[in-house]
Amino acid sequence: MPTYDLTCKDCGEHSEKFMMRLIREEDKVCSSCGSTNVSQGLGGGYLSGGTVTSEIESGCGGGGFS
Protein backbone atom coordinates (compact mmCIF):
# COMPACT_ATOMS: atom_id res chain seq x y z
CA MET A 1 0.00 0.00 0.00
CA PRO A 2 1.38 3.35 -0.95
CA THR A 3 2.31 5.50 1.95
CA TYR A 4 2.49 9.19 1.46
CA ASP A 5 4.72 11.17 3.67
CA LEU A 6 3.49 14.67 4.27
CA THR A 7 5.39 17.37 6.03
CA CYS A 8 3.84 20.73 6.70
CA LYS A 9 6.09 23.60 5.83
CA ASP A 10 4.21 25.94 8.08
CA CYS A 11 4.03 24.15 11.42
CA GLY A 12 6.33 21.24 10.77
CA GLU A 13 3.65 18.66 11.34
CA HIS A 14 4.56 15.32 9.91
CA SER A 15 1.93 12.84 8.94
CA GLU A 16 1.53 9.80 6.79
CA LYS A 17 -1.38 8.95 4.62
CA PHE A 18 -2.31 5.56 3.40
CA MET A 19 -4.14 5.58 0.14
CA MET A 20 -5.11 3.11 -2.47
CA ARG A 21 -4.81 5.72 -5.11
CA LEU A 22 -2.56 8.47 -6.19
CA ILE A 23 -2.41 11.42 -3.92
CA ARG A 24 -3.99 14.57 -5.13
CA GLU A 25 -3.46 18.18 -4.39
CA GLU A 26 -6.52 18.27 -2.19
CA ASP A 27 -5.05 15.53 -0.06
CA LYS A 28 -2.05 17.61 0.74
CA VAL A 29 -3.50 19.37 3.69
CA CYS A 30 -1.88 19.61 7.08
CA SER A 31 -3.89 17.72 9.65
CA SER A 32 -2.66 20.03 12.33
CA CYS A 33 -3.02 23.55 11.03
CA GLY A 34 -4.90 22.98 7.81
CA SER A 35 -2.25 24.52 5.66
CA THR A 36 -1.87 23.38 2.10
CA ASN A 37 1.77 24.28 2.15
CA VAL A 38 2.70 20.66 2.50
CA SER A 39 5.59 18.85 0.94
CA GLN A 40 4.98 15.32 -0.13
CA GLY A 41 7.40 12.49 -0.14
CA LEU A 42 6.93 8.83 -0.59
CA GLY A 43 7.24 6.77 2.50
CA GLY A 44 7.12 3.04 2.48
CA GLY A 45 10.20 2.44 0.47
CA TYR A 46 9.79 3.39 -3.12
CA LEU A 47 12.21 6.22 -2.92
CA SER A 48 14.19 6.74 0.20
CA GLY A 49 15.27 10.24 0.94
CA GLY A 50 14.12 11.44 -2.40
CA THR A 51 13.16 14.95 -1.66
CA VAL A 52 12.80 16.75 -4.88
CA THR A 53 13.17 20.41 -4.41
CA SER A 54 12.93 22.44 -7.49
CA GLU A 55 13.70 26.00 -6.93
CA ILE A 56 13.71 28.07 -10.00
CA GLU A 57 15.45 31.31 -9.59
CA SER A 58 14.67 33.85 -12.16
CA GLY A 59 17.12 36.47 -11.29
CA CYS A 60 18.67 39.20 -13.33
CA GLY A 61 15.31 40.66 -14.05
CA GLY A 62 14.90 42.95 -16.93
CA GLY A 63 17.50 43.47 -19.52
CA GLY A 64 19.04 46.85 -19.44
CA PHE A 65 22.11 48.27 -20.95
CA SER A 66 23.82 50.69 -18.72
Our finding on whether 6 is near Zn ion (CB under 5 A) is: no
Query: Judged by CB under 5 A, which stretch of 10-18, 19-27, 44-52, 54-62 contacts Zn ion?
Result: 10-18
Three-state DSSP state, 35:
coil
6: amino acid identity, one letter: L
Query: Residue 55, class by beta-carbon neighbours within 10 Å (0-12 exposed, 13-18 middle, 19+ buried)?
Result: exposed
Our finding on whether 36 is near Zn ion (CB under 5 A) is: no
Three-state DSSP state, 26:
helix
Query: Judged by CB under 5 A, which stretch of 7-15, 19-27, 39-47, 48-56 contacts Zn ion?
Result: 7-15
Binding residue (CB under 5 A) for Zn ion from 2, 3, 7, 13: 13
